[in-house]
């Protein structure tokens, strides 16, 4: 894939936001808030960072792999997969409908290209990514494994089992990103179950921790991912704390948990789309 | 009184050793076979593999959920992971991880579960899982296997390494008679008729296959000819073999070291109800937890031995 300018990448991210809103609106279900906040990350990863083939193979040998542990961001992930060539963009209109490959949460049973594991029940993706990273090490494969988790997801105990394992085995071909938006379905994370310092926690577990201070600025996200890549192969797993705002890009959705799992109605959709330019053509 | 047994033994050994030896052999045959264990390498007999293939073995510490996820990740990368721990921690503790990351995701993970059932013995009910077969057989895409002795467990371990798909392999702790041949071919999903009979069929799995062999000899002394079928694969169930036998004998007994609810007997009952209704008596644990004791004491107290299979067979016969 040709390198794209920051402006071009930003245009794709804007289109991804339109896709997400139109997808959840069409079926009046799904999770718009977090994928709006992760649009820059998804686009930077798939259009700039990943060394991957859109001719999908499950084992991903010789490729960088990405796992979405917080599977409820499916609308955003499906959009970036389609827009980067894994499957036809038109298929986005089947999201969450009967007989679709685009299940409410990502799944492999329908063989959707780009998806290697089911996710949705939280806390499992880091373990899976570590297994895939270990397989690459056994094979002498020099590519990387990426995984994204939500910040609320870190309340699951399995994440910390995996965090301990990653450092113990020095799984340094792995970059974990936390979508650090401070929100979860019932409210702000600090009220629901405070995470305190994620940097301190992961450092104490033996990780190399870095932060992307503005996860909704394409340049900042690109710099962050580049930095994360440069920290790999140094004996430690890498944690990228990606500071984002849930619902970013739509003025009445930004910074609140209220759009975590609620779709916009017709009027709200029109109002939101008016703030997001149709850059690549709607599906 | 000495019984005229159709199968005899000269040696006893634990089924977990059959797993450990089969696992080592599978590792020698296929470089993609890898192992994981949650701090029970000695108990699972995985140490020889770890010693021979240290780069293909992952001690995960006491963290079973992570172990299942790691296995799914290794499997999608083309490896054949054997994840070992006690049956209790390999199922109930990690049910959602198995459901989402392994079964639903169709990952080629072998969940290797030792110390299943009452015969775990003195450790007591916290560790004596009696619900694992039910939990595992309910999962779509999951194959469920419960071999009966050292040789069959070793053969099953080699067979699942060659099979593509999620498998739950259940075995145990106690020293147990080795009464099946060392050179047996293990066919997943294919029941094994061990003894021909005409009056009643005994369908047994795991350690209770031996009890069924003993029960057959006891019944024969009273002029009752029982057919003994070794159901090593609970899922997929060999319905053809079950129906063929019950059509001949007209009644049956199921015998398993598991809750009656959700176990092998339940699967057989479904098969019979749909195709050929016939009396079926259950030998299993009847809606209770276990307790501390020796394996023999526990099998007797909870009614899981040859004497109880004989009683159940007579009851089934009387209902014909």
Give the orientation angle of helix A125-139 with respect to helix B64-76, to 10 degrees. Answer: 50
CATH at A236 = 3.40.50.970
> b/e per residue, B76-90, with b = 16+ CB within 10 A?
bbbbbbbbbbbbbbb
Q: Is B64 a catalytic residue?
A: yes
A55 within domain boundaries: yes
pLDDT at A3 over 80: yes
- pLDDT per residue over B269-293, tens digit each? 999 999 999 999 999 999 999 999 9
pLDDT at B193 over 80: yes
A207's tokens? 């990780």
Q: Under DSSP, is residue B85 helix (H, G, I), strand (E, B) or coil? A: strand
A279 within domain boundaries: no
Q: Once rounded to an integer, what is the mean pLDDT over residues B31-35?
A: 98
User: What are the chain B neighbours of A134 within 8 Å (beta carbons)?
Assistant: 58, 70, 73-74, 77
Q: Once rounded to an integer, what is the mean pLDDT over residues B72-92?
A: 98
pLDDT at A56 over 90: yes
Q: To which residue do tokens 């799995």 refer?
A: B205
Give bridge partners of residue B285 from the DSSP assignment: B259
- Give the whole-number percent of chain B exceeding pLDDT 70: 100
Q: Once rounded to an integer, what is the mean pLDDT over residues A31-59?
A: 97
List Cβ neighbours of A34 (8 Å cut-off, separation of 6 or more). A70, A72, A73, A76, A150, A179, A181, A183, A246, A260
pLDDT of residue A1: 62
Q: Under DSSP, is residue B280 helix (H, G, I), strand (E, B) or coil? A: strand
Instruction: State how far residue A110 is from chain B, nearest Cα, in angstroms.
Output: 10
Q: What CATH number labels B192-318? A: 3.40.50.920
A283 within domain boundaries: no
Please state the domain extents for chain B: 13-177, 192-318
Contact B101 A124 (CB under 8 A): yes
- Which domain, by its residues, includes A108? 6-273
Q: How sure is the predictor about B311, in pLDDT bands with cuts at 50, 70 and 90?
A: very high
- pLDDT per residue over A153-172, tens digit each? 999 999 999 999 999 999 99
**Cross-chain CB nearest to A138 (options B56, B96, B100):** B56
- Give the whole-number percent of chain A exceeding pLDDT 90: 99
Q: How many domains does chain A have?
A: 1
Instruction: State how far residue A43 is from chain B, nearest Cα, in angstroms.
Output: 24
Contact B77 A132 (CB under 8 A): yes
Q: Once rounded to an integer, what is the mean pLDDT over residues A249-274?
A: 96
pLDDT at A2 over 90: no
Q: Once rounded to an integer, what is the mean pLDDT over residues B132-161?
A: 98
Closest by CA to B255, choosing from B290, B215, B198, B217, is B215
List Cβ neighbours of A211 (8 Å cut-off, separation of 6 or more). A199, A224, A240, A241, A242, A243
- pLDDT per residue over A80-109, tens digit each? 999 999 999 999 999 999 999 999 999 999
Q: How sure is the predictor about B63, in pLDDT bands with cuts at 50, 70 and 90?
A: very high
Contact A124 B105 (CB under 8 A): no
pLDDT at A281 over 90: yes
Phi then psi for residue A241, to 5 deg, are: -85, 105
Exposed (0-12), middle (13-18) or buried (19+): which is B168, by Cβ within 10 Å?
buried
Contact B101 A127 (CB under 8 A): yes
Q: Once rounded to an integer, what is the mean pLDDT over residues B132-157?
A: 98
Contact B69 A127 (CB under 8 A): yes
> CA A160 from chain center: how many Å?
19
Q: Which of A114, A117, A139, A164 to mutate to test the interface with B (most CBs of B within 10 A)?
A: A117
Q: What CATH number labels B13-177? A: 3.40.50.970
What distance in Å separates the CA atoms of residue A52 and residue B127, rounded to the nearest whole number?
45
pLDDT at B214 over 90: yes
Q: Is A233 left (phi over 0), alpha (psi -120 to 50) or beta?
A: left
Q: Is A282 left (phi over 0), alpha (psi -120 to 50) or beta?
A: beta
pLDDT at B1 over 70: no
Global ipTM: 0.97
CA atoms within 13 A on the CB side of B148: 30
Do residues A63 and A53 make contact, with C-beta atoms less than 8 angstroms apart?
Answer: yes
Q: Once rounded to an integer, what is the mean pLDDT over residues A216-245?
A: 98
Give the Cα-Cα-Cα angle A71, A75, A77 (nearest 5 degrees). Answer: 70
Do residues A203 and A166 make contact, with C-beta atoms less than 8 angstroms apart?
Answer: no
């Amino acid at each position: 894939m040709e390198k794209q300018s920051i402006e071009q990448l930003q245009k794709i991210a804007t289109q991804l936001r339109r896709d997400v809103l139109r997808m959840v609106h069409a079926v009046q279900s799904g999770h718009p808030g977090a994928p709006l906040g992760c649009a820059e990350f998804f686009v930077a990863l798939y259009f700039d960072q990943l060394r991957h083939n859109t001719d999908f193979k499950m084992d991903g040998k010789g490729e960088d792999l990405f796992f979405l542990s917080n599977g409820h961001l499916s609308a955003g992930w499906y959009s970036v997969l389609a827009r980067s060539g894994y499957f036809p963009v038109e298929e986005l209109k089947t999201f969450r409908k009967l007989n679709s490959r685009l299940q409410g949460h990502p799944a492999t049973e329908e063989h959707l290209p780009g998806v290697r594991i089911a996710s949705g029940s939280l806390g499992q993706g880091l373990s899976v990514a570590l297994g895939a990273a270990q397989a690459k090490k056994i094979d002498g494969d020099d590519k990387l494994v990426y995984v994204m988790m939500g910040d609320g997801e870190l309340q699951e105990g399995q994440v910390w089992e995996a965090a301990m394992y990653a450092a113990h085995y020095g799984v340094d071909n792995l970059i974990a990103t936390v979508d650090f938006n401070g929100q979860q379905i019932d409210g702000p994370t600090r009220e629901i179950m405070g995470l305190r310092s994620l940097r301190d926690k992961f450092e104490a577990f033996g990780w190399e921790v870095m932060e992307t201070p503005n996860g909704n600025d394409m340049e900042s996200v690109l710099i962050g991912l580049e930095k994360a890549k440069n920290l790999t192969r140094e004996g430690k797993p890498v944690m990228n704390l990606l500071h984002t705002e849930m619902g970013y890009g739509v003025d009445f959705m930004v910074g609140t948990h209220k759009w975590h799992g609620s779709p916009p109605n017709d009027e709200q959709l029109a109002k939101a789309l008016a703030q997001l330019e149709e850059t690549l053509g709607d599906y | 009184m000495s019984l005229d047994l159709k199968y005899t033994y000269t040696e006893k050994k634990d089924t977990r050793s059959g797993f450990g030896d089969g696992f080592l052999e599978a590792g020698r045959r296929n470089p993609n076979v890898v192992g994981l264990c949650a701090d029970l390498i000695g108990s699972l007999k995985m140490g020889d593999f770890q010693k021979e293939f240290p780069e293909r073995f992952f001690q995960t510490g006491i963290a079973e959920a992570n172990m299942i996820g790691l296995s799914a990740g290794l499997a999608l990368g083309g490896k054949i992971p054997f994840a070992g721990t006690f049956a209790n921690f390999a199922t109930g503790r990690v049910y959602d991880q198995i459901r989402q990351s392994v079964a639903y995701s169709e990952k080629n993970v072998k969940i290797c579960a030792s110390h299943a059932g009452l015969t775990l013995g003195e450790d007591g009910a916290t560790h004596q899982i009696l619900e694992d077969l039910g939990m595992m057989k309910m999962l779509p895409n999951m194959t469920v296997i419960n071999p009966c002795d050292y040789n069959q467990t070793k053969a099953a371990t080699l067979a699942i390494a060659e099979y593509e798909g999620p498998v739950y392999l259940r075995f145990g702790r106690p020293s147990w008679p080795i009464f099946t041949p060392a050179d047996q071919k293990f066919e997943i999903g294919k029941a094994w008729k061990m003894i021909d009979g005409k009056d009643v069929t005994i369908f047994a799995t795991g350690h209770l296959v031996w009890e069924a062999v003993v029960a057959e000899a006891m019944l024969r002394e009273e002029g009752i000819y029982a057919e003994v079928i070794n159901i090593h694969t609970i899922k997929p169930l060999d319905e053809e073999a079950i129906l063929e036998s019950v059509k001949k004998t007209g009644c049956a007994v199921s015998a398993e070291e598991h809750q009656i609810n959700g176990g092998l007997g339940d699967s057989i009952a479904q098969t019979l109800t749909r195709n050929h209704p016939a009396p079926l008596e259950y030998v299993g644990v009847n809606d209770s937890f276990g307790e501390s004791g020796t394996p023999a004491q526990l099998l007797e107290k909870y009614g899981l031995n040859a004497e109880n299979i004989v009683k159940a067979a007579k009851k089934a016969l009387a209902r014909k």
